[in-house]
Amino acid sequence: MFKIKFLWIISFSIPVISCAQVNADLIPQTYTAYKTPKKIIIDGSDSDEAWGKVAWTNSFVDIEGVKKPKYKTAVKMLWDDEYYYILAKMEEPHVWGNLTKRDTIIFHNNDFEVFVEPDGDTHNYYELEINALNTVWDLFITKPYRNENVVLNDWNIVGLKSAVKVNGTLNNPTDIDEGWILEIAIPWKVYKTGYFHKNIPADKFWRVNFSRVNWDFQLTNSGDYERKRDAKGKLLHEYNWVWSPTGVVNMHEPEKWGYVFFSTEVLNTSNPFIIPQDEKIKWELYKMYRVQNAHFKAHKAYFTSVDSLINSEIKVENHVLIPVLENHSTGWNLSIKSPFTNKVLIVTEDGKFITN
């Protein structure tokens, strides 16, 4: 009963009505995370020497890629043989929080969120949410919510380290704060899919995104912070500020997340990651996938011809791509043979990405 109720809550936490595509050609952000020779002390501070040697991400933008956030957010990343390190710095004039129980719905407070998809197939990914009280919500998600999925709320990041430093005073409405810093260390072992799985992504990339949920607030009669309501008592919508915008108010489109390359090179700030050409082909496949699903939602039937999914020639780096729509007894696949690697790139009916 609890799981059924939980899944209902989560599915309604995604504002489907607002999921109109704003910009189909948003380019995912990239970041090179360097290997640190020394362990990072997780204390909510950016004082470790290694943090000073690497660059911040670009400042977060609105999730739809249009509006500019009220407050600045940026992230740094590092790694070693045991942990994936994340440092988030958030401007916030009123740092507050009231959720203290693990695995409660943390985005009902202002929070910071981490999304990790290790193998790039858009399935079996991980979510972590933390508020200014350092309260954690961690989840394992089998598929995006557009597909029939299972959300494992009982999954925990065993060995997680996190710490918050407030530059100001927490839960004090009488002053103005500078913001808060969140420092995180996630053990690689929680992303292992088997005992012998060697999953540390040295000189490889993973799909990653970060989100910051922020609410307008009001004060209760006792002077405590709470989410703001309109004159009719309805909660005002939250703000969703992200590293790599998805173009829709929905973080659960992993094919649009950013690329983090885990470099074994010496710490520096000037070695950008170049997105492989096959990834750009993958973007084109998912554009067609979304057209196919939109048609099914409207007409309860899928297109049976690939020509119905495209309205112009598809090119990547001046190479013309030839998409194939394969209909079979259990559904359909979309595929393109890469002119760069000769691999066949496939998206299945349930959105999973496969390479042959």
For residue range 146-161, what is the model confidence (pLDDT) as tens digits? 999 999 999 999 999 9
Distance between CA atoms of residues 282 and 266, nearest Å: 31
Residues contacting residue 336 through CB under 8 Å, at least 6 positions apart? 281, 284, 285, 314, 321, 322, 323, 324, 344, 345
User: Does the pLDDT of residue 13 top 60, yes or no?
Assistant: no
Q: What is the pLDDT of residue 24?
A: 53
- Identity of residue 279: E
- Whether the per-residue pLDDT at 163 is higher than 60: the answer is yes
pLDDT, mean of residues 85-100: 98
Query: What is the arithmetic mean of pLDDT over 311-315?
Result: 93
For 21-49, the pLDDT digits (tens) are 335 578 999 999 999 999 999 999 999 99
Helices (H), 13-152: none
CA distance readout (Å), 295 to 60, 251, 256, 290: 32, 22, 21, 9
pLDDT tens-digit readout, 169-212 = 999 999 999 999 999 999 999 999 988 999 999 999 999 999 99
Distances (CA, A) of 335 to 76, 199, 352: 36, 27, 12
Question: For 205-234, what is the HEC assignment?
Answer: EEEEEEEEEECCEEECCCCCEEECECCCCC
Helix (H, G, I), strand (E, B) or coil at 307: helix
- Look up residue 125 and give its amino acid: Y
Q: Is the pLDDT of residue 11 over 70?
A: no
User: 3-class SS at 255?
Assistant: helix
User: Residue 256: is its pLDDT beyond 50?
Assistant: yes
- Element (DSSP H or E) covering residue 312: none
Cα 106 to chain centroid distance, Å, stands at 15
Given pLDDT bands bounded at 50, 70 and 90, which one contains residue 267? Answer: confident
Average pLDDT, the chain: 92
Residue 4 confidence (pLDDT) above 80: no
Report the b/e string of 22-40 with b at 16+ CB within 10 A.
Answer: beeebebbbbbbbbbeeeb
